[in-house]
Chains A and B, each alone.
Chain A
C-alpha cells in the first residue's frame, strides 16, 4: 500500500481546489485547499495522527468513558506544560487544562493557541506543531473480547467507534452560498495566522424567542417553522457548518423537491432573511445561571441565552469508545472526509457493520467511489463472505496494518491487510444536558430523515406557541433520503463542557475582574499611595517615601498624626439616607446606642444589630432633619443598608454624594486655619456645622476617629479632590502627614477601636468553653488591651490562656504602637468577671509557644507611662 491518504480526484463540497493554501506542520511544508480544516489538510498529506492522537473524529463526540477521558486529560496537561515551555500565552493553556478538548480529539499548537484540528479552518501560512506531550499508550493489539479495558463500572467499551452526528457527506454547495454562510456564521477573519484564536473571550447576552440546539435536519426545520411564524430564533450548531444528516444523503436525494445542496442553501438564506441568528462551532450547556452557548471560534465566546422556549435537536451520536489506533474511524467521520473534503482516509479498508446491511453497503460504495479499495464488509450487514463474522483484533499497534476476523458459525478465521477500519454502528439520540434551571428542552429528533424533518417542524410549532406565536408547520417531503442507521432506543449523553478559564472569566480578568470603586481624591492618591481593598473600594493603605515599605510608612504616618497632625481620606464608606415618618422608630429598632436621642444636626456612633440580634458593626447616625437621618458605615457592612431597606422608610444611596476627610492631631487647628481663612465657628461634640469655603457649602463635625478633637470635613464629592489637596498642602507646611488605612488601624488600636481584618479566623472550639457552647449566653464577652511582656507582636487569632492553660479568648490585632513605642494588642475574651487590669495572661502562637501579656484597658493609650 503506497498510499495512506490523499485527496480524491474530485468531490469535496467545502474545498476549493483552485485555491491552494501553504502551511507547515512540524517544520515540513505542506499544501491544503481553501475550505479545508486542519484535519482534512493533514489527512490529505498522509498525516493520520497528531501528537499520538489519530485524526479520526471530525467533530464533537458523545461523552468519553473514564479511561479515555483520563488519558486525554493527562495528554492535555502534558500539552499545556509543553505549551508553557514555549512561552506562549498562558491564557491559551486554559483550553487544554480545562479539558474542553480533552476528549479523543487531536489538536495542534499554532503560535499561542491550541487548536482542535477537526473544527479549525486551515489558513494560509499557518505554522503548526504537534503538541509535544507523550503519545497515548496504545495496545499493540486491541481485541474484541479480552483486549478491551473495562471502564470504572466494569463494562467493556463498545468496539464500534463513535461517530459524530454531523460528520457526514453531502454534495458541493455553491461557492456563493459558502461565502455567505461563512460571513454569516463566523467571526471576522483573522489578519494573520498568529491572530487565530486569540482568547477574546467576551460574554454575550442574547434574548430570543426560541433557542434551537442542533443545525441538522430537525433543527433547521424547527428554525424555519418558528422563524416563518415571526419568532426570533437562535440556532446553535456544534460543527463548522449546519446540515447534519443532510450531508450524508445520496446525490439522488431530494428534500422539498430540491437536491440537498439547493435545499440547504435555500433554508439558510430563508433563515437569514427572517432574522434568525446561526452560530456554528458552538456547543450548548447549562448551569445555575441558565442555558449558555460556548462558541469555540475566535478564541471562545460565552453566550448567555434568555429564550422563551428551547428546542433540542442535536441529532445522533455513537457511544464514545476507548482509544483507537490510527486508521480506525467511524463511518460518519470517514464519509465526512470523503464527501466534504475530498480526502480518502485510507487506501484499503475493511468496513465493520454491526447494524443494517444498507448502511454498510452505502459506506462501502462511497469509499469505492473515492478510490478506496474495500477489502471486506464484516458483520451482520456484511458481504456474503463475511456475513455474521466479527472483528477480533486490530494489529499494528499505533498504526493499523491488519484486522483479524473471527468466524461466525461454520466459517474460518481470517487476517486481512488494511490501513483503514470503518465501523458502521447504530447511532443514538444525544440527550439534552440537565439545565438545572427553569429552561426545559423540547426534543426534536427522528430516526429517519423524513421523521427528523417532521419532528423539527412539530417542535418549531410547539416552541412558537409557547411564546405566544402561532406558527404553521412546514412540509418538507423527502425522496431517496437513506442515511446511516439509527438505533430505535436509548440515548447518549452529550460530551461535558468544561469552560476554559479564559472563557468563563470573559472580560472580568485582572484589574477588571471585580467591580472596584475609587474615592474622589484618587488621582492624588494613586501618584503616591500603595492601595488596599476595602470592600469594593480601593483605598490608600500607606504613602511610602523613598526606601519605605508599607509598615514603616504606616508607623511614620501614625506617629505624625499623634505628634503633629494627620489627614485621612474617609470617603470610602457605605453612606445612605433614610427618610420617613417611621425613620426614628426604624433606627431605634436596628441600632443600639444613643441615636434616638439625637437632636437636629447631631451625630452619634451606634452598634447596628441584625434581625437575629447579632452585631453587624458600628455605624454613625447623623440627624439631618426631623425625619431624615444619614447613616455612615464601614463599606464592608452592606448588610446594614439591606436591613434598613427592609423597613418602612425610604433609603437613598449617598455613597458617591460626599467626600470626607478627617484632620486629627494636636496641630489640627493650624491645618484648618490654613484652609479655612475665615474663623471657624465652635464645634460642639457630635454636632454638624455648616460652613462655606470659596462659596461651597461644607459640613464640619467634631469626631473621635483618631483621638479626641478630630474634625471631619464633608464636602460634595466633586470638590473632594480639591479640598484634599488643600488640606494636605496645609498639613505638609507644618509636618503633618496624609495617613492611609494601615496607619488608621494603628491609631484605632491605640484608641481601643477594633478593626478586624477580613482574614481573621477564630476557631471557637479552641477559644474556650464559652465559645464552644452555643447554648451559653455570651453576656460576658469583652474587648481588652494587652501589652506583651516581651518585645513581640502578637498575631491575630492567637489563643489567650490563663496560667492554668484554660482558653479565655483570642487576639484580634497586634502591632507596635508608634506613640507608646512598644507592642500592643487587643483581644476578645469571654469571662465573667473579665480579667482584671494588670493581671497576667498568656498568648499562644501557632507554633505552641506562649508569650506572657499584661491586661490593660482596650484604649491602650491610657497605659502611657
Chain B
C-alpha cells in the first residue's frame, strides 16, 4: 500500500556556523501530546507515561521504564498551565491511549500536537541569539527550565538544556522564527535562512 507521506514544517532545516560553534536545526519528528490534567493526577499520569510530571516551569526527562514508550527517551515540559509530552515519533497514539486509560474517570484534555509544533534546536551562542529576538532573562534560568514567551514576536516555548535551547513554535510560524534566529546568529557565522519567496498581490 502506498503510504501518505508527511512533511515537516522546515524540511529538516540544518544550519551551522563554519566552525560548528553555532548550530540551528529542526529537530527530528517527535510525538507531541498536549495534556491538561489536575495536579492530583500527576503521579498516576507520570507512571502511565514512564516519566514524572515536572513542576510548573520545569522539564522532566527520562528513559521510560514502562508503558508505551518503554526503553525510549520521554520528556515532559510543564508549560502554559499544562504539559507537553515528547516521545519518539510514532508513539503518540499509544501514549494517548495509555494516558486516557489512566484518566478515564478524571476530567482532562489531551490533544495530539505531533506535526503541529516545530522544535528548533539552537546550540552555541544561545545567549547572544536569544537576546536579540527574545526578552527572557537568561541568567535567571537553570537547565531544564521551561519558559513560555515571545520569540521574534511569535509565541513560543523555550526549553533550556545544557549548552542548548529548544524552541518550540507552531509549525505554521516555524519558518518566520527560524529566519529571525538565523539572522540574529549571523554575527556568529550562522548562515541565513531566508523566508521562502512568495509573490504577493500588489
Contacts and interface: CB of A to CB of B under 8 A. Distances in A.
Contacts of A537: 172
A204 B154 CA distance: 16
Interface in B3-27: 3-9, 11
Contact of A716 (B8, B36, B115, B137): B115
Interface in A559-592: 577, 579-581
A721 B111 CA distance: 21
A654 B107 contact: no
A514 interface: yes
Contact of A522 (B109, B116, B196, B200): B196
A304 B135 contact: yes
Contacts, number: 149
B115 A717 contact: yes
Interface string A517-539: 11110110010011111001110
A200 B186 CA distance: 10
Interface string B168-202: 00111101100110011001000000011111110
A650 B107 CA distance: 11
Contacts of A650: 36, 109
A205 B172 contact: no
Interface stretch (B46-54, B60-68, B126-134): B126-134
A580 B107 contact: yes
A726 B3 CA distance: 12
B113 A204 contact: no
A537 B173 CA distance: 9
Contacts of A699: none
A647 to B, nearest CB: 15
B85 to A, nearest CB: 14
B201 A531 contact: yes
Given A515-B176, A653-B170, A526 B4 contact: no
Nearest to B170: A656
Given A581-B107, A718-B7, A512 B201 contact: no
A526 B112 CA distance: 28
B199 A723 contact: no
Contacts of A657: 111-113, 115-116
Contact of A517 (B152, B176, B179): B176
A202 interface: yes
A696 interface: yes
A577 B36 CA distance: 12
A655 B172 contact: yes
Nearest to B175: A518
B34 interface: yes
A207 interface: yes
A605 interface: no
B70 interface: no
A516 B173 CA distance: 6
Nearest to B128: A204
A723 B201 contact: no
A656 B171 contact: yes
A512 B179 contact: yes
B8 A718 contact: yes
Contact of A203 (B1, B132, B197): B132
B3 A515 contact: no
A694 interface: yes
A820 interface: no
Contacts of A579: 36, 109
A652 interface: yes
A519 B139 CA distance: 36
Nearest to A202: B132
B176 A516 contact: yes
B198 A538 contact: yes
Interface in A191-223: 200, 202-207
A507 interface: yes
Nearest to B29: A718
A518 to B, nearest CB: 6
Contacts of A518: 172, 175, 196
A721 B107 CA distance: 34
Nearest to B8: A718
Contact of A695 (B1, B154, B171, B172): B1
A514 B152 CA distance: 9
A348 interface: no
Given A526-B198, A722-B7, A512 B176 contact: yes
A245 interface: no
Contact of B5 (A522, A530, A722, A742): A722
B174 to A, nearest CB: 9
A320 B184 CA distance: 39
B123 interface: no
A652 B176 contact: no
Nearest to B186: A200
A203, A652, A696, A721 pick with most chain B CB within 10 angstroms: A652
A330 interface: no
A424 to B, nearest CB: 44
A682 interface: no
B109 A652 contact: yes
13 contacts: A203-B133, A206-B131, A207-B139, A507-B132, A520-B172, A526-B198, A531-B200, A532-B201, A580-B107, A652-B34, A654-B116, A656-B173, A716-B6
Interface of B: 1-9, 11, 29, 34, 36, 107, 109, 111-117, 131-140, 152-154, 170-173, 175-176, 179-180, 183-184, 187, 195-201
| 10 interchain residue pairs of minimum CB distance | A718-B115, A207-B137, A517-B172, A718-B6, A656-B116, A657-B116, A694-B4, A656-B170, A579-B109, A656-B171
Given A531-B199, A695-B4, 7 more contacts: A207-B138, A514-B153, A515-B153, A656-B173, A658-B116, A694-B3, A719-B115
Interface of A: 188, 200, 202-207, 232, 304, 306, 507-508, 511-512, 514-520, 522-523, 526, 529-533, 536-538, 541, 550, 577, 579-581, 628, 650, 652-658, 693-696, 716-719, 721-723, 726, 742
